[in-house]
Structure 1
Amino acid sequence: MWERDVPNLKNPEAASLLIPNANGAYCSGGAEGPLTCTAPEYGIVNYLNYQFRPNAMLSIRSEFYDDFKGQRFGFPTDYSENTIGITWFVGSVIEIRPEARFDYSYEVPAFDGGRKWGQFTFDTDAIFFY
């Protein structure tokens, strides 16, 4: 995918073109570069699910994402994400899904405000069907 006419964060004159709650891009050319540029990105994801009990399933997810100009996440770098989780059905009304996830940025530290290369996340959710 890509977005065109994205304000260049390196060019101070492009600050007036920024839209609230939208990111600019790190375009080529530095401060003397164009006011806007095209910001491409791509990603690929893989899911592997294994049902090990009639009411439980193991899920493994791997993703690779390249934010060429930092317009999507604020840092121009490649990212990977790996998640492992379990889906447990409690009867026919409740679904509980704990998971552990690790994200990593390859070219610049992109987590914790640009201070860390990766981050772990542990979470769970419950879905109630009605």
Structure 2
Amino acid sequence: MSTQNFPALSFFWKEGYSLGVGLTESMVEAGYLEKEEKEFKVTPKGEQFFADFGIDIAVIRKKRRSFSRACLDWSERQHHLAGALGEQLASRLFELEWIVRLPKTRAVKITEKGRAGLRDYFHLSV
């Protein structure tokens, strides 16, 4: 399922809180990502995490677009993962049916399967 119409990981899962910011904070705290000035660096631990999650970092790095840009979330004033890696992570969440689009909006709904997955993989309580 394509996320073409949605900025990667800018989805809101509760009032005033972006799923993208929550996921990004979780991955930084776990040591999978390190925040640099304008991007996130994937650590060796992060490369293994993404591989286990079904995301091939080597393939994504070959894309022409930015790999792991830090994008400022307009509502929270905190950064979330964007670029090709953020887009692929969002696509994977749709593919796993952890999130589904709500009709005619930019909003997504976290499924029960997604609640369990986000808790188990990302330590997010949603």
Asked whether the two chains share a fold, i.e. TM above 0.5, the reply is no
Larger radius of gyration: 1
| Greater relative contact order (CA < 8 Å, ≥ 6 in sequence) | 2
TM-score, reference length from structure 1? 0.25
Larger strand fraction of residues: 1
Q: 1 or 2, which has the higher helix percentage?
A: 2
TM-score, normalised to structure 2, is 0.25
